Homo-oligomer: A and B are copies of this chain.
């Protein structure tokens, strides 16, 4: 009885502590909260009377720390670690190689099912005791299992009868940091780079450790530290020593470090006069540099390369091609099992064909020519991380080449870190899209996980939204995008809905009165952004450089395909990019089933309408509205839906700490203001062509087009620095 009182008191204090300290969001989805349901707490305490943890590798040491931290917070008491005995229920945590035969025989069949780093969480019975076994064939798998187990508890799931067998579906699950060496972050909206190059290698910021913990908890196993617009200096000894320090921190958590390799590095830091990939000196320079790296970092992951893209140097500078460039680096890395991630994000101002077609045109002919340790990294769509794009036609079109998905987690085109737009919904849309390359059901997810074409190397990269803001992502809901990316990299077949559910429970609350409305809001949020920014297949009508806010009127940039007018092609006759046979015929790069579906106005989904078709302003939409009215009403719906989010969120105040509630409130109001700005600016601009009135139901703009065109934001965040 006295014990119970203490326990309640303890709960009260932990809540106090939660509400006063943890509410800055630093703890992410790992801010384990005290279990409030008393029955459940009893179940947990009874099931976990002690822990038997076998092994003392660095990975198992941090596994133990996570158990202590998580269980202390959730149960309000330390669960002792001791040797296995058969008197009470226990938690057994060990690599399968360390399991005793009596336990091993109960999990052996499951173990055979596991991929690398997969895990088992299974309730077994020995004598009259129940034991919960968390095991794997790899130490990192044990860590993953423990994080998974703690997550179950944080989500208040029963743990008395578990039988979970889970393995990652992809090999490489990584973040790409577009972090510059001066700590600015290209397209970063949550402060500046986590990597404090100046104080490395001697100062290890606690954030490096917590970064690794957060990533490991969702199965991320790689990180490219530096911007794809690369600086060769990171490959010099002075910086490699710093990279090694980070690699040492991340290693116990199963995370490999990768670097972006500037193609011209042999010239810039190597003293050579060429970076020609077929030049023997160049090959030798990369061989030596690679050896130097592996001497410091034996598990170095490999190179991520942006070459001959947006001004970056590459093999074409020497009349060589992407295969030559990628394979040269691959040869250097192969002895150490390192990989090359070669980006397919290429387009040229010297190529007058539709930008959407250029990557496919350039890369598909190379299918089968890359070495085994090359994986081609392809953005989800053919343009550039727009609020909505049809999946990239390269997916499914290169059966002999491993293709890696590149998603953007940072919201370059979806409202920076001030708009709520739950991106797993976008990822899910792409991953579940059907390429039809091996008949119906040939989804992008199956391309990515290797199952469609039996690929040996698989992966997914996410362009990080992480900065040094205290809560990591600026917007508290930006954490959900990082979380969701990690979960989908682990298993690209998961649903956005289940991810949202997990994340809300882990991050905020298990109260259904909170989860219901907030989950609904999250799942609808990305479509809102599409509506108030780029409805009906519009794309890339953002302001110049920083991409902050609307700029559909911009037409004066040096490269035609950098101008919004290139993409919307609005004129007096109508709007939209004709990518059918009468236009650029980008459709030909897709499977015939899709080309037919998208090419036919009767079957083309209206969400992609203006991506593929140039249509008259009075074209009739399915609901009977003209295109003009329909577009106006989509913009308006985007605004209205954000207004509803504001209202929904206000009602959530009782359920969470005031600091995060208030943060989100302020941010939603910014989102509402900017949604109106988008609607007003775009509709006023397009009206100069349509010459039609705004329909009833669309709120009239309160400022002029000239006002919106006059807005300038020279210090908008995330711009690539000019130094």
Contact = CB atoms under 8 A, between A and B. Distances in A.
A9 interface: yes
A182 interface: yes
- Chain multiplicity (copies): 2
Interface in A193-250: 197-199, 202-204, 206-207, 233
A15 B4 CA distance: 21
Interface residues of A, number: 45
Contacts of A198: 189, 416, 715-717
Contacts of A192: 183, 191-192, 468
A418 interface: yes
Contact of A418 (B17, B183, B199): B199
A323 interface: no
B202 A669 contact: yes
A366 interface: no
A152 interface: no
Interface string A687-723: 0000000000000000000000000001111000111
A22 interface: yes
A199 B189 CA distance: 10
Nearest to A548: B198
A10 interface: yes
Interface in A533-575: none
A206 B659 contact: yes
A21 interface: yes
Given A181-B715, A659-B206, A715-B182, A21 B17 contact: yes
Contact of A670 (B22, B24, B199): B199
Contacts of A191: 191-192, 468
A477 to B, nearest CB: 14
Contacts of A22: 21
Contacts of A233: 714-715
B715 A204 contact: no
A162 interface: no
Contact of A10 (B9, B183, B717): B9
Nearest to A203: B666
A655 interface: no
A673 interface: yes
A472 to B, nearest CB: 11
A171 B231 CA distance: 49
Contact of A723 (B10, B181, B722): B722
A278 interface: no
Main secondary structure of the interface of A (DSSP, over half): loop
A619 interface: no
A543 to B, nearest CB: 14
A667 interface: yes
A14 interface: yes
A470 interface: yes
A245 to B, nearest CB: 11
A716 B6 CA distance: 52
A666 B468 contact: no
A318 interface: no
Contacts of A469: 468
A329 B578 CA distance: 59
Interface string A666-684: 1101100100000000000
A326 to B, nearest CB: 29
A113 B19 CA distance: 42
Contacts of A181: 715
A17 B13 contact: yes
Contacts of A715: 181-183, 197-198, 233
Contacts of A14: 13
A580 to B, nearest CB: 40
Contacts of A723: 721-723
Contacts of A182: 715
Contacts of A183: 192, 715, 717
A416 B204 CA distance: 17
Contacts of A24: 26, 206
A297 to B, nearest CB: 21
A114 B207 CA distance: 46
B13 A203 contact: no
A556 to B, nearest CB: 21
Contacts of A418: 199, 203
Contacts of A663: 203, 206
A698 B197 CA distance: 31
6 contacts: A21-B21, A182-B715, A184-B184, A197-B715, A202-B670, A468-B469
The 5 A-B residue pairs with the shortest CB-CB distance in the complex, in nearest-first order: A21-B21, A13-B13, A17-B17, A722-B723, A181-B715
